[in-house]
Structure 1
């Protein structure tokens, strides 16, 4: 088994932790939970600040009275309601907070997917599994997971174990779609408890990624998409190796030889100062920039990489 600078990774440089903590509360509380392993009461206290300070407070302030961000549900990309809610979840807005309840209530009662999708309520999703997987994750996180949406996603699983927004006619799964659905199924299980059908489907989807080493073709072993070797935040609908490994960590998968190469790839991206860079950012119509341009040090990528490596070695 390879050993990508194990000691340095298990015990990150104090300067790196200090740099991570010298940031937004959305990052700080996750550092305290995942890296420094602070007592629960300190983590809870820091997380409460997320709703009223920094990036989350900025994003909440941009919601319109009709429940939308940017006036739309999805097409305006990052400035849309869909991506705003995903970012609020990723940053850890406490779903029971007053701010979350107010924002989500507006979406729940006022936002639909439009006439094209029969005015389906936002948290009931639309037709594409890459979107519906994340809608399911949002509903589960914010307290309203759709059983109907789960049933649809389970019915759309392909024979190879994954999902694809192009199916039919495609009969082969897509990493991009599969990771979005896996996020949703895991969130559903976390919110509602174990369900055999959901767990079985999720494990088959995980295996689709794992048997391919998280980024290689099963048939030839070649890299499927070289953009997956560059890490962005937020990933939006895009798959990359760090996103895939962070999902496995959150799903409490026991790491084995199938992830060794992917973990080594993450470790090799670390700079000598202990930080990871932002790569391949998806910046179309962002409401505001959280980090600098590509190639600059990224707190989000550093946090996620360190917790993935901690998961692998522990």
Structure 2
């Protein structure tokens, strides 16, 4: 841990349990008993408890699978954002709780309730079978295995819908044959979560092909022109929703590297440079983007302010990349 990290650490620890336990585990390197005790508080305090309290009796949030079926007065709406994607429905809420570290036992019976009561807006498909969107199916795969649902249909879906270039595109149903950075990263995150949770190898080859799609592009550029693939590559925003950024891609590759017990791929170096360059003089990272839309409540700072979530993610990526063993191998 650098001197800057030591200075920032108390600020990172003075956060909601959903973030604090991860800081304790991955940055402060606290004993397992310490971070597990903090993680247990997610169900009863802060963001996790607030979101749990918003769940409906039928197992859903806001009555819908991916889109709310009603305007809930408890949701936070911002003037001028009425046309933006709402983030209050079931798929988004489950993903937030899972990523915050909520124990699945706090949602006992939810998988069965969702199976019985909720279907996708697209073609009225069964929830745990997924639909046609790779990003939706990725979060459903991860959320399903977390809650103990039968997601076997989705395990088969990803290799069947992987495109020739190795990635995925949510617009494949409209005829697209070229992969998307957004869809590919979301697919990889869902697959890795499933693989880690089950210990199975069914999707390993599929996952590695998807990783290669992003690595060939150094996480940042168009494979043909070498130019930055889009302004969103440099976005610093939490939560990331479905939108790609090099920070969230790096965070994925850190997790995949640790899972596979391999060193960082050298082709991540350009994205690492972008990340270092975006660090503030005070050792923190500030939000530079905002994904608008109805949400239950705010979980991070306003655009332009130093973000504990982003600083945590960036710090653990750089500490992983800068490990002495990795430096020697490069």
TM (normalized to structure 1)? 0.91
Q: 1:137 touches 1:145 (CA, 8 Å); kept in 2?
A: no
User: Please, which moves more after superposition, 11-20 or 264-273?
Assistant: 11-20
Cα deviation digits, residues 259-312 of structure 1 (max 9, x gap): 111011111111111111122121310110122210111111011000111111
Partner of 1:267: 276
| Superposed displacement of residue 71, structure 1 | 2.2
* 1:106-161 Cα shifts (integer Å, max 9, x gaps): 334422225x43441x2221121121111101112222351211111110001110
The alignment partner of 1:217 has SS state of coil
- Partners of 1:215 and 1:228 within 8 A in 2: yes
Aligned to 1:3: none
Change (3 A) 1:105 1:52: farther
1:158-307 mapped onto 2 (5 Å cutoff): 158-168=163-173, 169-195=175-201, 197-252=202-257, 254-307=263-316
Q: Which moved more, 1:103-112 or 1:235-244?
A: 103-112
Q: CA deviation at 1:15?
A: 2.9
How many correspondences in the alignment?
301
Instruction: Identify the residue that residue 44 of structure 2 maps to in structure 1.
Output: 52
Distance 1:64 1:18, change over 3 A: same
**C-alpha separation in 1, matches of 2:130 and 2:188:** 16
Task: Choose 279-288 or 42-51, whichever is displaced more.
Answer: 279-288
1:133 corresponding residue in structure 2: 138
SS of 1:78's partner is: coil
Superimposed CA distance per residue, residues 240-273 of structure 1 (whole angstroms, 9 cap, x where no aligned partner): 0011000001112521320111011111111111
Kept in 2: contact 1:63–1:103 (CA 8 A): no
Query: C-alpha root-mean-square deviation of aligned residues, in Å?
Result: 1.7
Q: Which runs of 5+ in 2 are unaligned?
A: 69-85, 324-330
Q: 1:152 aligns with which of 152, 157, 174?
A: 157
Residues 279 and 142 of structure 1: is their aligned pair in 2 closer, same or farther, counting only changes over 3 Å? farther
Secondary structure, aligned partner of 1:70: coil
TM-score for the superposition, normalised by structure 2: 0.87
Whether the 8 Å CA contact 2:67–2:89 is kept in 1: the answer is yes
Q: Separation in 1 of the partners of 2:157 and 2:132?
A: 9
- Tell me what 1:27 maps to: 19
Q: 1:243 & 1:145 partners in 2: Cα distance? A: 28
Q: Match of 1:43?
A: 35
1:110 aligns with 2:117: yes
Contact 1:136 1:145 in 2 (8 A): no
Q: What secondary structure, in the 3-state scheme, does the structure 2 residue paired with 1:69 have? A: coil
**Gaps (5+ residues) in structure 1?**
1-6
CA offsets per residue over residues 180-225 of structure 1, 9 Å max, x none?
Answer: 1111111121122232x41001000001001101010111100011
- Asked if 2 retains the 8 angstrom alpha-carbon contact of 1:162 and 1:205, the reply is yes
Q: 2:57 matched to 1:65?
A: yes
